[in-house]
């Protein structure tokens, strides 16, 4: 009998084996936030980096990609004005276009990104400044993944780091938190995409497949 594995560093869920594949290097954000009318965040890590560096960020309107990220912003008393519907980077960009006209916008991003959010917004004449707020690096895990298992991937970086630590067993099935993460998988890996970009929904899907 296999297991359900979750490529995640923070939360622990009953009946799920956690695989902490990523370490995060948070950057010092040295910016004058008074120059910007709005901030875009597409992950909790961007919010953490912001909160570590600039306490006055809470006053700025925040445009967040998903409910989990918005909930984290709210837990730090941040000012959420919009939460993405799709939860996917490129789709989120198109949601933002009619909302950001005539605004100077700061986009806090990872060192490596997969979505085309930045270019989409700039191509639609959004006055956007992007800033690298954090970088993810792989942690090697000395662990044996059982056959006939479900592996939940929560980001493209987790896909990369998993494949550096493990050889994929074709009896296993992948569950992805979103389309961008799924696109990072090699063609030989069978996958399903969660209907919502949340770990809880991924786990529900994995249990239904298990």
Same domain, 32 and 127: yes
Same domain, 14 and 55: no
SS (H, E, C) 4-21: EEEECCCCCCCCCEECCC
Last residue of a domain, one of 117, 136, 155: 136
Look at the chain and report how many structural domains it folds into.
2
Q: Are 61 and 35 in contact (CB under 8 A)?
A: no
Same domain, 204 and 106: no
Q: How many helices (H) and strands (E) does the chain have?
A: 7, 11
Run of H or E including 159: helix 156-165
Same domain, 69 and 127: yes
Is the pTM higher than 0.85? The answer reads: no
Q: Are 196 and 154 in contact (CB under 8 A)?
A: no
Domain span at 53:
25-136
Measured between alpha carbons, how far is residue 197 from residues 26, 44, 153, 154 in Å? Answer: 23, 13, 11, 9
Same domain, 96 and 170: no
Per-residue confidence (pLDDT) for residue 118, from 0 to 100: 96
Measured between alpha carbons, how far is residue 108 from residues 1, 27, 129, 130 in Å? Answer: 42, 11, 9, 6
Same domain, 93 and 159: no
Cross-strand bridge partners of residue 137: 23
75-90 burial code (b ≥16 CB/10 A, e <16) = eeebebebbbebbbbe
Measured between alpha carbons, how far is residue 140 from residues 25, 28, 97, 164, 189 in Å? Answer: 16, 26, 39, 8, 21
CA gap 185, 183 in Å, rounded:
5
Same domain, 173 and 112: no
Per-residue confidence (pLDDT) for residue 100, from 0 to 100: 96
- Using DSSP bridges, classify how beta strands 4-7 and 17-18 pair: parallel, antiparallel or unpaired: parallel
Could you report the average pLDDT of every consecutive run of 10 residues in the chain (210 residues)?
86 87 92 96 94 94 95 97 89 96 96 90 96 92 93 93 94 94 94 92 92
Same domain, 175 and 119: no
Last residue of a domain, one of 83, 109, 136: 136
The length of the chain is 210
Counting beta carbons within 10 angstroms of the beta carbon of residue 197, is it exposed (0 to 12), middle (13 to 18) or buried (19 or more)? buried
Same domain, 144 and 203: yes
Same domain, 196 and 99: no
Same domain, 74 and 97: yes
Per-residue confidence (pLDDT) for residue 198, from 0 to 100: 87
The enclosing domain of 72 has a CATH number of: 3.40.50.10090
Same domain, 62 and 50: yes
Last residue of a domain, one of 136, 163, 187: 136
């Amino acid at each position: 009998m296999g297991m359900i594995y979750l490529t995640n560093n923070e939360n622990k869920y009953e009946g799920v084996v956690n695989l902490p594949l990523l370490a995060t290097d948070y950057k010092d954000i040295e910016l004058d936030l008074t120059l910007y009318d709005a901030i875009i965040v597409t992950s909790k890590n961007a919010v953490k980096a912001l909160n570590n560096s600039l306490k006055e960020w809470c006053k700025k309107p925040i445009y967040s990609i998903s409910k989990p990220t918005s909930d984290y912003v709210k837990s730090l008393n941040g000012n959420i004005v919009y939460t993405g519907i799709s939860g996917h980077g490129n789709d989120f960009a198109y949601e933002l276009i009619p909302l950001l006209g005539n605004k100077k916008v700061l986009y806090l991003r990872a060192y490596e990104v997969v979505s085309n959010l930045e270019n989409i917004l700039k191509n639609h004449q959004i006055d956007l400044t992007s800033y690298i707020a954090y970088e993810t690096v792989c942690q090697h895990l000395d662990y044996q993944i059982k056959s006939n298992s479900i592996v939940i991937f929560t980001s493209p970086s987790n896909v990369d780091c998993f494949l550096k630590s493990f050889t994929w067993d074709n009896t296993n099935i992948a569950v992805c938190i979103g389309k961008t993460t799924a696109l990072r998988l090699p063609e030989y890996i069978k996958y399903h995409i969660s209907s919502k970009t949340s770990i809880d929904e991924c786990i529900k899907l994995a249990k239904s497949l298990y």
